[in-house]
Each structure stands twice: as structure tokens, then as C-alpha cells.
Amino acid sequence: MTAAAVVVALIQLALFIFLAPVLVGVIHQVRARMEGRVGAGIWQPWREVRKLLAKNPVHAEGSSWVLTIGPIALLLSSLLLCVLLPLVGTLSLPFLPSDLFVIVSVMLVGVVALALVGLDSGTAFGGMGSSRHMTVAALVEPTVLLAIYALSIPVGTSTLSKIVETRLHTPAVIISPVSVLAMVALAIAIMAETGRLPVDNPSTHLELTMLHEAMALEASGRDLAWLEVGSWLKLTVLLGLLSNLAAPWGVLTDFTIWSVLIGIVAMTVKILLLGTLLSVGEVFMAKVRLFRVPELLAGSFVLAFLAVTASYLVA
């Protein structure tokens, strides 16, 4: 069982490293087509990574080793997420249950690393991005944890693989009002956490509106490549998680060649579908003002809170 879990973890790792740039490419391509442009093709992010890795990183005078270590820490936290989350399969490694609290904190390590990179260069933009990024992260956390709480109630544990398995075996749980509320809350939180519209505009280069881009301004070469790949991976695994919670079919629970293949194909299809959906949604949406974001997050917090209390009082 342990060997099978290790194999599945390695498969997830490889699949997501390959898939993350593709997903971002698909998102950009769908958006371009919807806006009447030709687009650069779905392999463009891969080409960008290759380009960045072939350049010398430039560090401003006065910046420290955080500029080198921070991007690696972000990448590492995203890679850990790939291994820990039940994406292709729900087999879990010994002593490493896919506990949601652990997963959130591993993700937060990446958030902090990015914020420190933003501060390190000592420019106004980096600080601004970092400050906004952390404000959003601080306000997202209550929603995320309460949504986890709501999801954990029907299963009696916050271990994600158990939650996904329960949803697979009793699909009625998925469309229960409690679960829908929690999922909506979680989806909003994930959009905020990964810097998508309406919280952050991922394609902007206008200094005053950007969050993520502002922090990455001083990074270049492989530092920038790690930052980008880390963020893409985070987006991809979180979308994968959402899709597995909403439609757990195809995820492998016992280890055979066929189930592995089905798991890989199902995950790929689900992620690309969700990515397309996200991209289409973003075309019709504008970024909200930064100071309206707390209202959005407060709304999703209320949904999560309702989900938790309702699951006891209604059921």
C-alpha cells in the first residue's frame, strides 16, 4: 500500500509539473480567442520558462539571499501540495495524511515566501504588492478554515483523502446545501488566494492595480521562473482539489494500471475544463477595487459559517 501511495505521489508530481504551464496556456488561449485575438498557443508558458532559465538573474544592489531562496521556497511549497493533495488518487503516505490544516499551512509558507521576496528588493512596488498580498491572505484564512470545517463534518475528519472518498461513495453529500455553501466559499477563497479575478488581475502590468506582479518585479531569470512555476502549480493543484471535491469520479482508490490511467486522464480533463470555465468567467468580470475585496471575502466567510452551523442544526 505504501509503495502504491509513493507511486501515485510521484505520478501526481510529474503530471502537475507538466500540466501547470499547459493549464495557464489554455487559460490565456481561451481568453485570447474570446477577446477576438489569435493568442500565443497553449505551449507559450513552457516556452517562457525555458527562456527565463536561459537568462542570468539580475539582483539589485542591497537585496539579500532571500531573493534567491524565496522563489525556491514557493516552488517547494507548491510541489509539496502536489504530493499531499488527493488529486489522481486518494492513497495517502504513511504518517502524512492529507490533513487540510497541514495543507493550508504548507500553502501559507509559499505565500510568506512570495511576500518576503516582494519586500527584499526595497522598492515601493514590491512593498505595495507584498502588503496587499498579505492583507488578502490574512482575510482569506478564516474562510478557508471554516470551509474545511464544514467539509469535514459529514466525514468526521479533516483528512482530505477521506473527504474525497466519502464524496465518491455517497454522491448525495456533494449536492447537499451545506456542501454547496462550503464549496462556493472555498471557491471564492481559492480565487483570492491564487490571485485571479475579481481579486487580482493576473494579466495586468499597471503598477497601481497589481498584487502578484508587483512582488515579482525585481525577480528575473530562474528566480522569476520559480516564482511563476510555483504560482502556476498552486493554481493548478487548487483547481484540481476543487474539481475533485465537486466531481470526485475517476479518482483512484485502489492501485491498478487501469485505475491509474483513468485517474490521470480524469484529472487532466477536469482541470482543463475548470480552467476553461475560469477563463470564460474572467472575460466577463472586472477586478474589484482593493478595498472592496474584504467585502467579498466577508461574504464568503458568512457562507462558510452558515455551512458549518447548518450542518448540525439542519441535519
Tell me the closest approach of the beta carbon of residue 252 to another protein, in angstroms.
Answer: 21
- To another protein, the closest distance from the beta carbon of 235 in angstroms equals 19
Report in angstroms how near the CB of residue 132 gets to another protein at its nearest: 6
Please provide the size of the chain in residues.
315
Give the nearer residue to another protein in terms of CB position, either 232 or 301.
301
Q: Please report, as residue ranges, which positions from 265 to 284 form the binding site for another protein (by CB under 8 A).
A: none
Site string for another protein, 166-195 (x = CB under 8 A): ------------------------------
Considering only residues 221 to 240 of the shown chain, the ones binding another protein according to CB under 8 A are 221-222
Question: Does 256 contact another protein by CB under 8 A?
Answer: no
Nearest Cα neighbor of 226 from 239, 235, 216, 240 is: 216
Report which of 278, 277, 274, 253 is spatially closest to residue 88, judged by C-alpha positions: 253
C-alpha cell at 176: 447537499
By beta-carbon proximity to another protein, the closer residue of 36 and 62 is: 62
Instruction: Report the alpha-carbon distance of residue 164 to residue 237 in Å, rounded.
Output: 15
- Conformation bin of residue 86: beta by default, left when phi > 0, alpha when psi is -120 to 50: beta
Let me know: does 89 contact 263? Beta carbons within 8 Å.
yes
Which residue in 207, 261, 281, 289 binds another protein (CB under 8 A)? 207
Residue 146 as a binder of another protein (CB under 8 A): the answer is yes
Q: Which stretch binds another protein (CB under 8 A): 60-68, 163-171, 190-198, 262-270?
A: 60-68
The CA distance from 88 to 270, in Å, is 11
For residue 89, the cross-strand partners are 252
CB of 61 to another protein, least distance (A): 5
Instruction: Name the residue nearer to another protein (CB basis): 64 or 170.
Output: 64
Among 47, 55, 205, 289, binds another protein (CB under 8 A): 55
Can you tell me the distance from the alpha carbon of 306 to that of 265, in angstroms, rounded to the nearest whole number?
35
Q: Does 154 bind another protein (CB under 8 A)?
A: yes
| Binding track, positions 103-142, relative to another protein; x by CB under 8 A | --xx-xx-xx--xx--xxxxxxxxxx-xxx-xx-xxxxxx
Binding to another protein in span 76-95, by CB under 8 A? 76, 79-80, 83, 93-95
Cβ count within 10 A of residue 103:
21
Continuous segment of H or E residues that includes residue 24: helix 2-34
Asked whether position 62 contacts another protein by CB under 8 A, the answer is: yes
Number of residues that bind another protein (CB under 8 A): 83
> What is the smallest separation between the CB atom of 269 and another protein, expressed in angstroms?
27
Q: Which is nearer to another protein, 40 or 306 (CB)?
A: 306
Task: Give CA separation, 95 vs 92, 98, 231, 252, in Å.
Answer: 8, 10, 27, 20
Q: Name, in order, each residue with C-beta under 8 angstroms of 16's C-beta and a sequence gap of 6 or more.
A: 82, 87, 233, 236, 237, 240
Cell numbers given for 236: 493548478
Minimum distance, C-beta of residue 122 to another protein, in the bound complex (Å): 4
- Geometric angle at alpha carbon 255, from 98 and 260, rounded to 5°: 90
Question: Near another protein by CB under 8 A, which window of 27-35, 58-66, 198-206, 263-271?
Answer: 58-66
Q: Which stretch binds another protein (CB under 8 A): 26-34, 51-59, 169-177, 259-267?
A: 51-59
